[in-house]
Chains A and B, each alone.
Chain A
């Protein structure tokens, strides 16, 4: 089993839709979680950290489910500009190893 797994997509959604992605991780000792966004042919940029209590930033909500070992990203009222690949990142262990998922591609259409 991969350490961090994401559905590659693409998720094709119309503008205004709500879309959610999950990211599963295999190590129950993982302690920090993040979502990064990567536009086509660009570098990844931090979108948001994922806290145990969940967190919200405008139209974006991130949640952590430790029991089932996954994190989620919910995007409400999708915009064309949300089209990108979303990477989940998991930090694990005493050496705090950082592992990137392979990303989920989102395409928002008119």
Chain B
């Protein structure tokens, strides 16, 4: 069974703080993704990575950066958190980049005060 884990289920941060969200997968997948999910907007892709040290912007990369130093780990960084980044953040991995099953982690509910 594929397992994708995320570092926290719930996180509360203050405006301006630097926030790190970590994601680890155990299936040796090359492709990893970060999404945010908001009511009425669905899942939106922030960044994805198709290999170690490689990254591509998704639909809404502004205010975010990512790091992929090891194949199994993909980190999302909010350089200076803002209230409009309050959301559910979901990490996913897949064997092929697109058109393939995406395996999601349990999500991190981030609240920025």
Contacts and interface: CB of A to CB of B under 8 A. Distances in A.
Interface of A: 8, 31-32, 34, 42-46, 87, 91, 95-98, 100-103
B42 A100 contact: yes
Contact of A32 (B45, B98, B105): B98
B104 A43 contact: yes
Contact of B42 (A32, A42, A103): A103
B8 to A, nearest CB: 14
Contacts of B90: 43-44
B103 to A, nearest CB: 8
Given A91-B99, A96-B98, A96-B99, A43 B43 contact: no
Given A32-B98, A87-B43, A98-B98, 9 more contacts: A32-B99, A42-B106, A43-B107, A44-B43, A46-B101, A91-B99, A96-B97, A96-B98, A97-B98
B7 interface: no
Given A43-B107, A44-B104, A45-B104, A101 B99 contact: no
A72 to B, nearest CB: 18
B85 interface: no
Contacts of B43: 44, 87, 100
Interface of B: 35, 40-45, 90, 97-99, 101-102, 104-107
- Of the listed residues B42, B45, B98, the one surrounded by the most CB atoms of chain A closer than 10 A to its CB is B42
Given A87-B43, A98-B45, A102-B40, A46 B99 contact: no
A11 B45 CA distance: 27
Nearest to A88: B42
20 contacts: A8-B40, A32-B98, A42-B106, A42-B107, A43-B90, A43-B104, A43-B105, A43-B106, A43-B107, A44-B43, A46-B102, A87-B42, A91-B98, A91-B99, A96-B98, A98-B45, A98-B99, A100-B43, A102-B41, A103-B42
